[in-house]
Amino acid sequence: MSRPYYRSPEYEPGRIHTGETTGEIGRASHPRPLPVSNIAGMSFDVGEYLLDSVPFARTLGITFDRVEDGLAVARLADRPDLHNHVGGPHAGALFTLAETASGAALLSAYGDAMASGATPLALTATIRYLKLAKGEVVAEARVPGTRERLGGEPPVGGWPEFDIEVDITRADGAVVSQMVITWVLRPAT
């Protein structure tokens, strides 16, 4: 991505959030626990788990083409009930598609931490709408780097943060939107 994104004044790469400056954030509840025994081989369906955990994404009709090793490819069908005033997908639907893809990428990379009780929380998100989106759109999200680059396991008592970049493309391959979403993994308490 070529242009810088807005960052909140408190943002510092690699900063650990303790909840002191941002306030305490509640724990998420999931409809079913993450199957710990399946994390290593990723033999469970990450996309289905995420759609069960976030029913709004299923309401929009988001589906997954691929989820593996920190990469997620999600799809939003062209539906008239999701259109905006110019006949393409509404900005809110595009945002949800990108955020959902980033969550699946995160789960595929850090599912073992989440199975141990860590909670993923979106801290900030910035989206740029570059071109008119018409028809079906696809979001590709990738967790940057490796576990070692991100510091390994989340530290106890801190919230490691990192950015996930998402490109949304239309059928002709043109990138119509780009999102950077900053996630934190809140350790189990």
Provide the CA 167 distance to its chain's centre, in angstroms.
Answer: 12
Which option is the CATH number for 43-186: 3.10.129.10, 3.30.56.10, 3.40.190.10, 3.40.50.2000? 3.10.129.10
Structure-model confidence comparison of residues 132 and 14, the more confident one: 132
Instruction: Decide if pLDDT at 94 tops 70.
Output: yes
- Region 36-46: mean pLDDT is 52
pLDDT confidence of residue 146: 52
pLDDT tens, position by position, 130-178: 999 999 999 999 998 755 544 555 444 566 788 999 999 999 999 999 9
Q: Which residues contact 19 (CB under 8 A, 6 or more apart)?
A: 25, 159
For residue 50, pLDDT beyond 60: yes
What does the alpha-carbon distance between residue 182 and residue 161 come to, in Å, rounded to a whole number? 7
Is the pLDDT at 32 greater than 90? The verdict is no
The model's pTM: 0.74
Say which residue the tokens 């305490």 belong to: 24
Per-residue pLDDT, 72: 95
Give the residue with greater pLDDT, 2 vs 64. 64
User: What pLDDT is recorded for position 25?
Assistant: 37
Q: b/e map of 163-178 (b: 16 or more CB within 10 Å)?
A: bbbbbbbbeeeeebbb
pLDDT of residue 73: 97
Distance CA 138, CA 38 (A): 27
Helix and strand numbers, DSSP H then E, in the chain = 3, 7
Higher pLDDT, 119 or 141: 141
Q: Return the domain boundaries, the chain.
A: 43-186
